[in-house]
């Protein structure tokens, strides 16, 4: 995690458990943000992207599954479910749809700690660093939802951040429209290729010095898009 303390978002309506876990996790070197309601969790997420979310499924204002869906619409942030729900179907559905891991209450803290560390290690190559050079003249700070173009900062919407983050993760290789739909709008019903075209147009208008002659987001012959590589070398 680039020498900084990993940030965890802990979401549970059990105030006593939250206090105990926050204390233990902080003593173990984590930066912890807490929320006792789903709405609080989403607000916290929009202020600062965590490295990992620990999520209870039973919240007073929203179902945990709804919170997870909103998280995943914003970014591919790993989620560990911490819940008293022991039903096998609920557990398998959560892992299939959004959770990296699932721990049933009551639990032992050392087991949670080990699982958090394991997921963070596994996700390390998928979570962008604080600032990442992705093209000559462009740096992404996806945790802050910013693109820095020739020293100028531009705020990105959640969709724009996910979109350009997907292109950056491809390391200069092209992604088809279908691949981008699957990676950026995976939770949306009826996602259409127009979503991709509109997002590309908005990003070019926002980030490109000359949107008509893009230096960063390139259209690939035959369909798809790619991001210019950090050295500035263009692919044929």
Tell me if residue 157 falls in helix, strand or coil: coil
Residues 6 or more apart in contact with residue 230 via CB below 8 angstroms: 133, 134, 135, 136
142 and 93 in one domain?
no
Q: Are residues 68 and 23 in the same domain?
A: yes
User: Does 214 map to a domain?
Assistant: yes
Share of the chain above pLDDT 90, in %: 49
pLDDT per residue as tens digits for the range 192-211: 888 889 899 999 999 999 99
Gap between the Cα atoms of 131 and 167, Å rounded: 15
Same-domain status, 19 and 109: yes
Return the residue matching tokens 């929009």: 46
Number of structural domains the chain divides into: 2
Residues 5 and 29: their CA atoms lie apart, in Å, by 6
179 and 104 inside one domain: no
Asked if 179 and 198 sit in the same domain, the reply is yes
Q: Is 62 a domain residue?
A: yes
Instruction: Kindly give the parts of the chain with pLDDT less than 70.
Output: 1-3, 75-76, 123-130, 186-191, 229-236
Residue 232, pLDDT score? 43
Tell me the pTM. 0.59
Are 82 and 161 in the same domain? no
Of 123, 144, 162, at which residue does a domain stop?
A: 123
Q: Specify whether the CB–CB gap between 178 and 186 falls below 8 A.
A: no
- Is the residue at 1 inside a domain? no
Q: What is the pLDDT of residue 233?
A: 44
Q: Which of 123, 147, 163 is the last residue of a domain?
A: 123
Contacts 24+ apart (CB under 8 A), 174-179: 174/220, 174/224, 174/225, 174/226, 175/224, 175/225, 175/226, 176/223, 176/224, 177/223, 177/224, 179/224
The residue range of the domain holding 108 is 7-123
Do 91 and 148 belong together in one domain?
A: no
64: domain CATH number is 3.40.50.2300
pLDDT computed for residue 191 by the predictor: 65
């Amino acid at each position: 995690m680039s020498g900084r303390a990993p940030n965890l978002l802990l979401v549970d309506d059990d105030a006593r458990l939250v206090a105990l876990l926050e204390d233990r996790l902080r003593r173990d070197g984590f930066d912890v943000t807490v929320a006792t309601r789903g709405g609080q969790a989403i607000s916290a997420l929009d202020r600062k992207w965590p490295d990992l979310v620990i999520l209870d499924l039973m919240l007073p204002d929203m179902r945990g599954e709804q919170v997870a869906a909103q998280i995943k619409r914003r970014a591919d942030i790993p989620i560990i479910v911490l819940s008293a729900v022991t039903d096998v179907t609920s557990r398998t559905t959560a892992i299939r749809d959004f959770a990296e891991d699932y721990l049933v209450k009551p639990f032992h803290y050392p087991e949670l700690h080990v699982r958090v560390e394991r997921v963070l290690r596994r996700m390390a190559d998928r979570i962008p660093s604080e600032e990442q050079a992705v093209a000559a003249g462009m740096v992404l700070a996806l945790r802050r939802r910013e693109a820095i173009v020739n020293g100028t900062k531009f705020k990105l919407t959640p969709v724009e951040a996910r979109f350009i983050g997907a292109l950056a993760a491809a390391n200069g290789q092209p992604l088809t429209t279908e691949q981008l739909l699957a990676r950026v709008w995976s939770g949306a019903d009826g996602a259409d290729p127009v979503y991709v075209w509109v997002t590309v147009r908005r990003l070019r208008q926002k980030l490109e010095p000359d949107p008509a002659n893009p230096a960063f987001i390139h259209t690939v012959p035959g369909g798809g898009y790619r991001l210019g590589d950090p050295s500035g070398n263009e692919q044929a």
